[in-house]
Structure 1
Amino acid sequence: MTVERPDITTEDPDMILYGPESDVVPAEDSSSNPRRILIIKLSAFGDFILSIRSFQAIRAHHPSADITLLTTKPYVRLAEASRCFNSVLTDTRPKIFEIPALLKLRKNLRSRKFNRVYDLQRNERTKLYYKLFPSQKPEWVGNVKGCSHYYEKPENGIYHISVREKSQLEIAGITNIKLPDLSFIKADISDLHLPRNYAMLVPGGAPHRPEKRWPTGQYSALSDHLTHLGITPVLIGTEAERSQCNEIEENCPAVLNLCGKTSLEQIAVIARKAQLSVGNDTGPMHLIAAAGCPVVVLFSKASDPNKISPIGPDVQIICEDDLQDLSIEKVTSALPAITFD
């Protein structure tokens, strides 16, 4: 299976990192200079990480604007740390019949008098939010019929979500979109007692999607392989994945089992120093790849990497219709070269 990688590169001499370390930002479009901007990105975790490069590009394009993000509770802390936004609003995603909550949201959105909205969620909910604004709508960059900057998803072909988002922003004049810069993420990992040379393994995934998981026994075999190379496997997961991580630890006692012990921020910091990472198609792999760690991501036919694979400087994709059939040899042959400190 051929995977169309998003049009990103780390070799572009004009690459601008839009995080807190960057001092270079492009000028605003003189034909449109919105002062108050709303960005909408509600979920899910992998999608939110993929949109960080868009957040940074929007901030760079509008350096003096007052920018607000509307998102959901799990992503507020990351958003605030990114320095892309002047403020962050938490969306409770009220249902259509929850009239008081919708009226409260409408009042909050209208009171801020936004000049432009970048709708990076592009779904039925955000089409509803468009209607919450008064008849004199702000400029709207999205796929709501009648909006000022309409993005229409191509009818033919398969497009990665980041490619579609890039095309959407180009309609508003934002063209210099590069790899995300996660240097803004800080966390203390001293209490985790990480070894000098380690690899991150992410054996879990959504509980209701077991077909997206490589078998635990294969992760145990991979752990043994890494151990013999002098690399300590570090297991990353949530409490929902504890049984898988514990089984791997029982089969390979040399692993460092951090299941349930890491925050999102800590995962990003751990990834910066890891030799490599191997994991299923699950949210943390997006964060690990964006942090700069070389990653190998395992896809079954349950999801399409052409649409939603992680982006980063070194991403390898392995596709197998049924991950039960994916051999340990195929995975180990895809591992990046290992250098020791």
Structure 2
Amino acid sequence: MKSRGMRGGASRVLVIKREGLRSFVEAEPAFEAIRRAHPDATIDLVTGAALQRLAKASPFFDRVVATRQSMQPAERKEFGNQLKRVGYTVAYDLDGTSDSSAIRAAMKGFRGPNWVAPKKASNETRRHLAPSPFAGPAVRKLLKDSGLPLEERLPRLSWLDGEDKGSANLDPSWFGLTGPFALFVPAANPAHRWPADYYATVAAAMAGEGMTPVIVGSQELGTFAYDVMQASMEMQGPEGRGAVDLTGKADAAQLAVLAKHARFFLAGPCEELHLVAAAGTPGVILVPSSEDLTSDALYGREVVKLTAANMKSLTPELAVRTLKNMGLIRGGSASGGRAFA
């Protein structure tokens, strides 16, 4: 698939990656490979609004353009025409969806770029932790087939540092967090979610170490976060250490920074899990046996998976014991648990 401008000679490069937080995280090694292949080019990324700030914080792109997640046909065509007028030499479609295919179609013809893209678009639906139709392995194969060198490595967010970016709200202190804390990342699907009082039991075990539970996730989890906070207060009493509710308050870049500073995470199936794991944070995943856990972001990490058909069967005592055995809270060895190595 090598062609004119495919390697370092390209002056302007386009990358399309709009599909979800998990998919974006899994594509991080591909982003670096594209930047290495075109060191002197201006590289533009088209992504979703929720991913724009995280993408801007990365060292891989010169410009980040955010679009609405759902675009009408006429809107896609006009957007594709606008991109065509920019005059890209090479373009990478790392989504492989009908939306990205429509954008590609609008950019065909005179002055159109050389495309590195899947032959067939896919719009398959997927479960919360199941891989997307065009996930990490498919992206890696696409780039290798194009002749672009790609390092075989895990996604990593070591380039994200709030201090280096000079942004005050890219620091835990922006949310009033000044001491040790851990992230609670509840499942997106209520049927796959660990009970609120179970999270509260873990919070009580953390209280003796002066560690604050921080609940993160989408705004829709606000009621559940309140339930966790109430149950925690009932268990610990008025002198207890309360949880902090950041559901719907932290964007992807802020969540990545929080993850880098957190002692550990306790998470269910959700998009945010993959970002937290890619930050290198150790932790425990609570997942129903019906869910597929395959993900580039999870392998090789200090992460332990606890699985059961019924989430209530995964007792909080088991979670606390696992965290102790991993050396993440007191009472256990620091042997770690590389369930995905």
The normalised TM-score by structure 1 is 0.76
Q: Shift in Å at residue 278 of structure 1?
A: 0.6
Residue identity opposite 1:66 in structure 2:
T
**CA apart distance, 1:230:** 4.9
The amino acid of 1:281's aligned partner reads: P
Does the C-alpha gap of structure 1 residues 191 and 112 become closer, same or farther in structure 2, counting only changes over 3 Å?
Answer: closer
Q: Secondary structure at the match of 1:306?
A: coil
Change in CA separation of 1:30 and 1:263 when aligned onto 2, cut-off 3 Å: closer
Instruction: Work out which of the residue numbers 247, 264, 272 in structure 1 matches 2:227.
Output: 247
Residues 234 and 283 of structure 1, relative CA distance in 2, 3 Å threshold: same
Name the CA distance, whole Å, in 1 between partners of 2:250 and 2:7: 46
2:176 aligned residue? 193
The residue identity in structure 2 corresponding to 1:71 is: T
Deviation at 1:290, TM superposition (A): 1.7
Q: How many residues align?
A: 295
Question: Which amino acid is the alignment partner of residue 128 of structure 1?
Answer: A
Alignment of 1:22-101 (within 5 A): 33-92=9-68, 93-96=70-73, 99=74, 101=75
CA contact (8 A) 1:299 1:323 kept: yes
Q: Which amino acid aligns with 2:294?
A: N
Shift in CA distance, 115/315, structure 1 to aligned 2, threshold 3 Å: farther
Change (3 A) 1:44 1:311: farther
- Rounded Cα–Cα distance in structure 1 between residues aligned with 2:327 and 2:31: 32
Q: Which amino acid aligns with 1:338?
A: L
Could you tell me which residue of structure 2 aligns to residue 267 of structure 1?
A: 255
**Aligned with residue 138 of structure 1, among 96, 113, 122:** 113
Q: Following the alignment from structure 1 to structure 2, what is the Cα–Cα distance between the partners of residues 324 and 190?
A: 34
Q: How does 1:135-284 map to 2 (within 5 A)?
A: 135=109, 138-144=113-119, 161-172=135-146, 173-178=148-153, 179-186=155-162, 187-205=170-188, 209-228=189-208, 230-253=210-233, 254-260=241-247, 261-284=249-272
Does 2:335 correspond to 1:337? no
The answer to whether 1:114 aligns with 2:92 is no
**% same residue:** 23
Question: For residues 93 and 211 of structure 2, what CA distance do their matches in structure 1 show?
Answer: 43
**Distance change >3 Å, CA 33–CA 202, structure 1 → 2:** same
CA contact (8 A) 2:160 2:257 kept: no
2:264 corresponds to 1:288: no
CA offset digits 1:60-98 (Å, max 9, x no partner): 2321111111112121222122131121222234223xx
Partner of 2:339 in structure 1? none
Return the letter of the residue paired with 1:138: P
Query: Counterpart of 1:25?
Result: none
Counterpart residue number, 1:13 = none
The 1-side partners of 2:319 and 2:289 are apart by 17
CA RMSD of the aligned region, Å? 2.9
Task: Render the CA deviation track for 1:156-212: whole Å, top value 9, x for unaligned.
Answer: xx978323322222223222143323433421332433253322111252xxx3222
Deviation at 1:107, TM superposition (A): 1.8
Unaligned runs of 5+ in 2: 122-129, 163-169, 234-240, 331-341
Change (3 A) 1:236 1:286: same
Q: CA contact under 8 A between 1:82 and 1:185: conserved in structure 2? A: no
Give the distance between the partners of 1:222 and 1:277, measured in 2 at CA: 11
> Taking structure 2 as the reference length, what is the TM-score of the superposition?
0.76
Show CA shifts across 1:284-306 (max 9, x none): 22222222211222222453112
SS, match of residue 56 in structure 2: helix
How far 1:243 sits from its partner (Å)? 1.6
Distance 1:135 1:77 in 2: 32
Which residue identity does 1:94 align to in structure 2? M
Q: Deviations over 1:228-277 (max 9, x none)?
A: 45533222234321221111111213233133443433322222222111
